[in-house]
Amino acid sequence: MNDPTIERALWLVVIALLVIGIIILELVRRKQYKVSKRSYQAQKEKIAYLEEKLKEREVQKNNPPKVNKPKVAEVQEEVSAFQSSRLQAMSSNKMLEVEDNDDLEDLTIASTHNIGKKKEMHPKELLEDTIESVKNSLPDNVSIVTQIGGAPKVTVNQNLFTKSLGALIRCSAKTIKGNGKVTLSLYASMGEAQISISDNGQGWGYKGQNPDELKALEMAKKILESQSASFEMNTQEDKGTEMVITIRNE
């Protein structure tokens, strides 16, 4: 005969396993629901943004406004409010498409989702990866010059840093009219790694500059500062711009 005590114990174990399984399934279901809800909400935001931009395009097509191009300082507040991915309304065929190579959109997604983790690496590797990612997206009239010196290792989120530096390089290249160059320098200052991005363009904030480039600048600056880096910029009209990113040791 079976021992009643052992039989009861086995039943209790089976019941406990069933309860645990039900709890795990419920937790998985709730997690999937939250993920689906966030994705659905993001899609709603994009659709609403697209509809609004399409209406603006139709109004501007009928009544083209006179727009004063903003300076760098004037777009900081707009960048802080920019939460949804930037999308372009194509009114010619009434279709909505994502704009290619959109640094502002990429930076917004990167800063929102914070993809990647911090790791220790040599800043030379960081700069080389950035150059590799941007070299094919620069205009034919712009070349890249590198000046790489010694610098201490840094602890950064490589994904966020590469996207931010790449956006700054591309935007600098767009300020250049005619043949020009973007110079990337790496060196050490006061025991900290410094990366310099300089160009011989028209200077940031020049008349007619695309406001989205200024927004991308501010977004990249905020991301870099969130990664324990400081950002300084010196720009002169018709002479060029230099941006210096100092990565603090932590």
Dump pLDDT digits (tens) for 11-21.
888 888 888 98
Average pLDDT over residues 131-146: 92
Average pLDDT over residues 214-243: 92
Phi, psi dihedrals of residue 117, rounded to the nearest 5°:
-125, 160
Average pLDDT over residues 32-59: 69
The mean predicted confidence, pLDDT, of the chain is 79
User: Residue 235: is its pLDDT beyond 70?
Assistant: yes
Average pLDDT over residues 175-200: 94
Q: Which of 105, 106, 88 is nearest to 97 (CA)?
A: 88
Q: Which residues, at least 6 apart from 147, have a Cβ–Cβ distance to it below 8 Å?
A: 183, 184, 185, 186, 187
- The percent of residues above 90 in pLDDT, for the chain, comes to 41
Give the integer Cα–Cα distance in Å for 43 and 238.
Answer: 42
CA distance to 75, 79, 86, 146, 237, per residue, from 201 (Å): 20, 24, 26, 17, 8
**Burial class of residue 247 (count of CB atoms within 10 Å of its CB; 0-12, 13-18, 19+):** buried
Task: Categorize the per-residue pLDDT at 61 as very low, low, confident or very high, splitting at 50, 70 and 90.
Answer: low
Give the integer Cα–Cα distance in Å for 190 and 244.
Answer: 14
User: Residue 234: is its pLDDT beyond 70?
Assistant: yes
Q: The pTM is what?
A: 0.59
User: Residue 89: is its pLDDT beyond 60?
Assistant: no
- The percent of residues above 70 in pLDDT, for the chain, comes to 73
Q: Which of 71, 72, 116, 70 is nearest to 231 (CA)?
A: 72
Give the integer Cα–Cα distance in Å for 116 and 156.
Answer: 10
Average pLDDT over residues 99-122: 76
Better-scored residue on pLDDT, 103 or 66: 103
User: Residue 44: is its pLDDT beyond 90?
Assistant: no
Better-scored residue on pLDDT, 8 or 40: 8
User: Residue 86: is its pLDDT beyond 50?
Assistant: no
pLDDT at position 107: 83
SS3 233: strand
Better-scored residue on pLDDT, 73 or 140: 140
Average pLDDT over residues 216-241: 92
Radius of gyration of the chain (CA): 25
H/E element holding 89?
A: strand 88-90
The angle at the Cα of 136, spanning 170 to 161, to the nearest 5 degrees, equals 50
Average pLDDT over residues 174-181: 92
Task: Categorize the per-residue pLDDT at 39 as very low, low, confident or very high, splitting at 50, 70 and 90.
Answer: low
Start-end of H helices in 99-184: 103-113, 123-134, 158-174
Better-scored residue on pLDDT, 116 or 230: 230
The angle at the Cα of 66, spanning 64 to 67, to the nearest 5 degrees, equals 115
pLDDT at position 36: 66
Average pLDDT over residues 41-58: 69
Task: Let me know: does 194 contact 247? Beta carbons within 8 Å.
Answer: yes
- Other Cβ atoms less than 10 A from the Cβ of 111: the count is 18
